[in-house]
Structure 1
Amino acid sequence: MAINMNWKNLTILVSCAAMVASCKNGKIFGKKPEKSDVTGWNYNDKNQGGYQVSKEKEQRTGPGLIFVQGGTFTMGATEEDVMGDWNNAPRRVTVNSFYIDRTEVANVHYREYLYWINTVFDGDEHAPIRNGALPDTLVWRSELAYNEPMVEYYFRHPSYNYYPVVGVTWKQANDFCLWRTDRVNELELIKRGFINDKSLKNISGIAEENFNTKSYLTGEFQATPGKAAKSKKNTLKNPNGTPRTQVTFEDGILLPNYRLPTEAEWEYAALGYVNQNPQPSKKEGKRGEELVANKQVYSWNNNVNGLRDTRKGSWQGTFMANFKRGSGDNMGVAGGLNDRAVYTAPVESFYPNGFGIYNMSGNVNEWTADVYRPLSLTDFDDVAPYRGNKFSTVDIDASENKPTRDSLGRIKYRMMTDDESKDRRNYQRADVINYLDGDSLIQGVNYGYGITTLIGDKSRVIKGGSWNDRAYWLSPGTRRFLEEDQASSTVGFRCAMDRVGSPEGNGRKTGINYKSRKQNSRKR
């Protein structure tokens, strides 16, 4: 009995010694440290330079978003150009994978934004900032309609909490996206203990000292580290192996910016093609080149006839979106309302499309990022098409040689100069909104907004149709525009986000991987 106990004790001692030995030089329980394929040096090893490589391997999905796997599709008209605009001629393009909101931004979400602004920028000197974020509730007024209840109650009454926010300009929608980015990233850093959790309780009156992602990454915003950041369990290390309190973008913790979707992204997401596509088998034995047999007319379609079938039968006759059926008919007859909404409907109303996204047809038109041009679809690049680029760079304070912040606490940017761009091969001008317009080389010639045309550099594309539009405008291929500083009772928005990494989603491979063959060595 004593002999057996001694053997057991000896076995335990040997095992412990082996474990301790395996933990040396970056090895954990026999696991070899990750090393560079080009130098052979270990990553995350203080004894070999301390170069840090993130353990975060995938991009997490931000709040409210749905992953949309990209691909090629025919952008533009689906049927006859009823309006005769000739602004949506079919064009085959490719959209990269991205994320988009599953619903339109609702009143309660925008009021959350206003609450934050009123709390953080509460001084009299910040009144323009607070007022500049307010939606225009007067968009509901009409010379020949009694819409005052909508003016007074639509945005603020809890009955309308989850109805889409309207009366928001393109600029305001863009600012909302920037604010949302910072709040999501700030909360993630607090959850992981890299920022003190008490900071969320002390936001009143801090104004430009609020957390901003870019300011944080450039070191212009100094956050108070949380407990986890100083702990030995912190996976982020300095070169000398001590815990690192400052997160970098290379760590994979911070998300890319929320933003408005491009016109191509919006249209692709609206079509919801994933619902029609044959999915490859687990072994990827079947890989279809052309997965889209027919271009659907509306976002809810599952076939070209406009019907969606269920196991219990067809939904023929049921309204699949909130729109205006005909003159004077915005919701049907009492006792049998067709879409059950005289104006807007809750953002989760009706059936989601193939990607699981709600109200991509009807309810409200939605802002996209693009500057409107009638012939954009003929000028676009084949991949990630977009018009509206103004190439900028961080504005560096020459006296202090560091970035500067504006009154909102955001890092200032400046337009790149022609001198900085002249030697580039991919672009020569920073402002390329008018690229290929035909007038960029002629001095003094432009679109002449308000004189010869209603189209200008502030014209932004709106998509999707609204509660007050006929069915034609519900087709994802139709397109209209509105000035970026204007608002409407029929226009709202939703946010998008870039996808980094594999275009097929987390846990998926990029590219096609084949089994490697060993080379046959010949005897000589």
Structure 2
Amino acid sequence: MKKHFVLNFIVAALTGAALVSCGGGNDYSNNSRATGWDINGRDGFELNTDYKDQDAGPGLVFVEGGTFTMGRVKDDPMHDWNNTPNQQHVQSFYIDETEVTNGMYLEMLDWIKRVFPPEDEQYRNIYLGALPDTLVWRNRLGYNDAMTNNYLRHPAHANYPVVGVSWIQAVEFSNWRTDRVNEKILVDQGYLPKDLLGKANDGALFNTETYLNAPTLTYGGNDSITRGGRKSLALEKQRGKQASRNNSDTTGLYVRREQGILLPAAYRLPTEAEWEYAALGQSSLREYNSYRGRKKYPWDGQYTRSGKRNNRGDHLANFKQGDGDYGGIAGWSDDGADITAPIKNYAPNDYGLYDMAGNVSEWVADVYRPIIDDEYNDFNYYRGNVYTKNQIGPDGKVAVVTADDIVYDTLSNGKVIARNLPGEIRQIDIDDEETYLRTNFDRSDNRDYRDGDAQSSQSYAGLSPDQREKMYNSPQHSVTVDAEGNVIREYDADNSRTTLIDNEVRVIKGGSWRDRAYWLDPATRRFYPQDMARDDIGFRCAMSRVGSKSKKSKSPRN
């Protein structure tokens, strides 16, 4: 009787396991559900049926997406129309646990200096264009030389948020970080040589999109690198092709997007909606499918001081408490800092994110407009899309940037930066091939779309050319370089200008060490030119999540 019971239990367990395997997940056997053909067999279609979940990149924290009220819902004494509350939905994503620090940024500068030596005139502006502006600390009536000379490089400030970085530099750091993380993944997986990391390779660089689209063009076409890892060498030896590397069969020698080995998305700046959603950390206020309250700060409660018994009265963020009061009374400081503070100096919010209020304001991806057009879009809202595509050369292959055709740009402040680097795929605007008869987009540059100017109104068609002036007619300063290399700066002195807003102005979020408590509300928003920097603006990176919304299965509460 006992044996019969055990046998029935085993059969039931096996049956249950079979039923479970038929639901959710990848749900693939060795045969295709479409054709019945073999999957991952010798002659069959290849598909990664063992892919589990996206791993967070270094430094990132998972934030499960959902709906929230974007905009100011508490204490709006300014009645500022650019903070009008609106309901938005954000997809799940990852975001940096802390702001990017001086130490993290110096790692990139060190890499650039080794790969593109600034003493080489050909590369000089690559390094100079990446340097933070340390002069942001200067004040006409203040003595700040210690910060000007030491804040970026001295080890005492290594774990402080980097400042003096423009929006453009923050984007370039994100791109650099993506390629370095993916390059290390390929080294660790055995596809690239073990001693590769940190070497200059004569300016021949790894770029993620180039590797995925045209792996033979990576590292300047040097296949001793792209096929020099232990796994690639072992596979070639197994095939007996060690001596003939030009053989057309490259199966298994390069990683493909379908394998899910590389990061499925790039490091980037968070959108304004993502940043605000992450800063609020409303997970503690959820009640079934709605929120029980409206948060004013990243922490619970309506005050900037802690109410907990063990640290009652301590400030919860680094901000300016009053005129001439940046930190409190000596010996018993209110917030422990007079300028910026080290990362993780204050408690994180409910998502485990530090300094989402105070310390430094942060760049986000969006172009600034006073209006959040939730009537047009309430899902992953973002203003700033400029769609491009890979340039294809005469040989039918993607056009890869070389050291001889780096594109440099002179910004409005006269600073020269590199717009691309060797190894990247050249990008061009989309055209009718992508837009013909589409209803969801019809142009490459969408920054001006429905932004409240005359072109967005119904009466625009009836206006004369003289009346068709843009709402955002900001000053147009001119910076040119003559044949001798002299920078010529011309200021726009036109008195008809009515605004500082244009397509080169980006949103900044969160209060800083220079701000009063009003700006600690995640809903507050300001703007600043994307090619300029300040001593109170930093940034953190984000990454899109690919696949499931949640990292764990949901079940009813009751």
Shorter chain as denominator, the TM-score bin is 0.7 to 0.9
Taking the aligned partners of 1:435 and 1:403, their CA distance within structure 2 comes to 30
Q: Output the amino acid matched with 2:127.
A: R
Gaps of 5+ in 1: 1-31, 235-239, 279-287, 514-524
Residue 155 of structure 1: which of 145, 149, 152 is its match?
Answer: 152
1:470 aligned residue: 516
Taking the aligned partners of 2:305 and 2:336, their CA distance within structure 1 comes to 20
Q: Output the amino acid matched with 1:245.
A: L
Range 108-117 or range 79-88, more displaced: 79-88
Taking the aligned partners of 2:392 and 2:122, their CA distance within structure 1 comes to 26
Taking the aligned partners of 2:156 and 2:373, their CA distance within structure 1 comes to 41
CA contact (8 A) 2:306 2:315 kept: no
2:261 aligned residue: 253
CA contact (8 A) 2:368 2:507 kept: yes
CA contact (8 A) 2:474 2:499 kept: yes
1:90 aligned residue: 85
Equivalences for 1:71-470 in 2 at 5 Å? 71-122=66-117, 123-200=120-197, 203-204=199-200, 206-207=202-203, 209-219=204-214, 220-221=217-218, 222=223, 223-231=226-234, 244-255=252-263, 256-277=265-286, 288-290=288-290, 292-301=291-300, 303-304=301-302, 310=308, 313=309, 315-378=311-374, 381-397=377-393, 399-406=394-401, 407=406, 408=421, 409-417=423-431, 420-437=434-451, 438-440=453-455, 445-446=469-470, 447-450=472-475, 451-470=497-516
Query: What number of residue pairs does the alignment pair up?
Result: 457
Taking the aligned partners of 2:86 and 2:307, their CA distance within structure 1 comes to 30
2:479 aligned residue: none
CA contact (8 A) 2:506 2:529 kept: yes
Deviation at 1:83, TM superposition (A): 2.9
Deviations 1:92-135 (A, max 9, x none): 11000000000000000000000001111113210011110000
Deviations 1:240-266 (A, max 9, x none): 999611101111011110000000000
Root mean square deviation of aligned Cα: 2.4
Taking the aligned partners of 1:344 and 1:384, their CA distance within structure 2 comes to 31
Is 1:504 paired with 2:555?
no
CA contact (8 A) 2:317 2:358 kept: yes
Taking the aligned partners of 2:285 and 2:76, their CA distance within structure 1 comes to 25
1:482 aligned residue: 528
Taking the aligned partners of 1:309 and 1:99, their CA distance within structure 2 comes to 30
- Partner of 2:61, secondary structure, is strand
Change (3 A) 1:326 1:508: same
Deviation at 1:333, TM superposition (A): 0.8
Taking the aligned partners of 2:428 and 2:101, their CA distance within structure 1 comes to 33
CA contact (8 A) 1:88 1:377 kept: no
Q: Output the amino acid matched with 2:541.
A: C
CA contact (8 A) 2:306 2:313 kept: no
Taking the aligned partners of 2:368 and 2:376, their CA distance within structure 1 comes to 12
CA contact (8 A) 1:275 1:355 kept: no
Q: Output the amino acid matched with 1:165.
A: V
TM-score between the two structures when normalised by the length of structure 2: 0.78
Taking the aligned partners of 2:443 and 2:251, their CA distance within structure 1 comes to 44
CA contact (8 A) 2:235 2:253 kept: no
CA contact (8 A) 2:227 2:254 kept: no
Deviation at 1:459, TM superposition (A): 1.0
Deviation at 1:401, TM superposition (A): 1.3
Deviations 1:126-158 (A, max 9, x none): 001111000000111111111111111100100
CA contact (8 A) 1:380 1:387 kept: no
Q: Output the amino acid matched with 2:445.
A: D
Change (3 A) 1:430 1:242: closer
Deviation at 1:390, TM superposition (A): 0.9
Deviations 1:484-510 (A, max 9, x none): 0010001000000000111112x548x
Q: Output the amino acid matched with 1:257.
A: A
TM-score between the two structures when normalised by the length of structure 1: 0.83
Runs of 4 or more consecutive aligned structure 1 residues displaced over 6 Å after TM superposition: 240-243
Deviation at 1:232, TM superposition (A): 6.2
Q: Output the amino acid matched with 2:364.
A: T
Taking the aligned partners of 2:286 and 2:233, their CA distance within structure 1 comes to 49
CA contact (8 A) 2:304 2:316 kept: no
Identity %: 44
Gaps of 5+ in 2: 1-27, 238-247, 407-420, 476-496
CA contact (8 A) 1:45 1:51 kept: yes
Q: Output the amino acid matched with 2:66.
A: G
Taking the aligned partners of 1:380 and 1:466, their CA distance within structure 2 comes to 32
Deviations 1:358-380 (A, max 9, x none): 00000000000000000125456
Q: Output the amino acid matched with 1:275.
A: S
CA contact (8 A) 1:308 1:314 kept: no
2:5 aligned residue: none
Deviation at 1:426, TM superposition (A): 0.8
Deviation at 1:445, TM superposition (A): 2.8
